[in-house]
Amino acid sequence: MKDFHFFASSAFDWGITNDKRDLAELIRIMTGFGHDFNVWLVPCSHEVQYEINWFAPQVEGSVVVGEFTVNKKGAKKHPRQSRWEKELAAE
């Protein structure tokens, strides 16, 4: 298990990297939602629960590693499903 993960969020959507989703896939998914977003490096496992405040992870040492502006004309809509719903579906 890695001792870090990436967290991405916009004003409308969020996602994380995990054992099945790498950073490239996370960026692809977030871009598909069609909203500008930021990506943070979060210095803990993706399995650790933590607070989110104003779209940012509240973990000491978290760092913004990218700000992404999405071309809204080319964005594709993806069905929204919470992190917990996805994890339950994968079990």
Q: Supply angle C-alpha 73, 18, 21, rounded to 5.
A: 40
Note the pLDDT tens digit of each residue in 12-43.
Answer: 999 999 999 999 999 999 998 888 999 999 99
What is the reported pLDDT for 84?
47
45 band by pLDDT with thresholds 50, 70 and 90: confident
* Mean per-residue pLDDT, 53-60: 92
- CB-facing half-sphere around the CA of 24: CA atoms within 13 A: 0
For the entire predicted model, the pTM comes to 0.75
> Facing residues of 37 across strands?
68
Q: For the chain, give percent helix, strand, coil, nearest 5.
A: 25, 25, 50
Residue 84: CA count within 13 A, CB half-sphere: 1
pLDDT at 58 over 80: yes
